[in-house]
Structure 1
């Protein structure tokens, strides 16, 4: 094979891996792979959660079942962030497992307290009539819960993509709640969609939408990610 033929083969291979249709196929493949691995990671707790039903008194046990969800979400964020648009260079499963290995412990240090706090709020709201408190307390609790969930979304993104101490990640996540309104609005939109899918569908419906919601969260979090990389990491 002469030089011209070799160049044509190289160009053809490059075109195959980087064309518009290939990029769409690469994205679909990555989303489906992340979806499957996410479901497998949370399957044990998810099965127990399904058996529990939606009784308010089972909220503490339901929270325990959701503990694996935090590391699974950061692994999915890691895989989606490091995804390739080249169909010939796809490694989504490897990226997911690498993210799970690198970030699980760091995620749990933030995820477990967040989950416990949200459980306390949810339990208080579902038993609010028995407290005898004025109605505006319920609104305040709900607002605190939303704020905590938005902080959690920021902390998941930061944990997935950076290696900070737990306290530093917590402070940065809180800092960006007001500093980057676009990221906060994007996280709020993802929470609304996930909540609506759970309320009007099932928890499984919300899980099936999770890779798309995480991809959207990454896009709206780009300014936060860029600022963190430029101002809070060593160059």
Structure 2
């Protein structure tokens, strides 16, 4: 008579490699955010330090815009580093990714950022001195709407210039295209801008700068359809 089959004495168990579990991924994300935030503030620190010395007088708006010029390339490098971040805790190089993003994108980002900053400065200066213009009140609403639309366009353009290599005019056109084509992405950007404005108005002007990395990560998440379509339809 044949002997009965015995159950396996041991079962194979799958183990998660170190650095690939949920806690490790969370730690990797926190490390990346802190590193990128520190490098962003360091890159933009000359302009931000001067900005706090300028003061809130509306007549200083052109000078404030000059102080904000270094912020554009710093934001672009941060977007690049966050998009190319490593999920593995054992293989993190956020500083290297940030430096590469700065090297690749500083010039292109500035060619988008400087005209946008100049245009927003003209709008803000006009609104803060609106009584002296003699224009009807509805012009103020129109200018505010144009300024808000410009900020939304600028957010899409920041993502595009940080992750793709296009001519400046092509980046500008694509940002306009996505502004209207992907309403959900534009709505997500609008929500972030409203949150940033609320943090600035209710708490302190420094808070959005201190939370720039998580805000930019949220921007990337909101613009994921824009990124996917650009990769699919506008790159080789």
Worse-matched range after superposition: 99-108 or 181-190: 181-190
Aligned to 2:3: none
The SS at the match of 2:134 is coil
Aligned to 2:154: 152
**Separation in 2, partners of 1:63, 1:164:** 25
**Separation in 1, partners of 2:212, 2:89:** 22
> Which structure has greater helix proportion?
1
Instruction: Give 1 or 2 for the bigger CA radius of gyration.
Output: 2
Q: Note the C-alpha offset of 1:202.
A: 2.5
**Separation in 1, partners of 2:45, 2:191:** 25
**Separation in 2, partners of 1:219, 1:180:** 13
**Separation in 2, partners of 1:13, 1:155:** 43
Aligned to 1:181: 183
Q: Note the C-alpha offset of 1:200.
A: 2.0
The SS at the match of 2:140 is helix
What is the TM-score with the length of structure 2 in the denominator?
0.92
Is the counterpart of residue 27 in structure 1 residue 29 in structure 2?
Answer: yes
What is the TM-score with the length of structure 1 in the denominator?
0.92
The Cα RMSD (Å) is: 1.4
Q: Alpha carbons of 1:13 and 1:77: their partners in 2 closer, same or farther (altered >3 Å)?
A: farther
Structure 1, gaps ≥5 residues long: 1-10
Aligned to 2:89: 87
Tell me if the contact between 1:60 and 1:119 (Cα under 8 Å) persists in the aligned partners: yes
Aligned residues: 224
**Separation in 2, partners of 1:221, 1:126:** 32
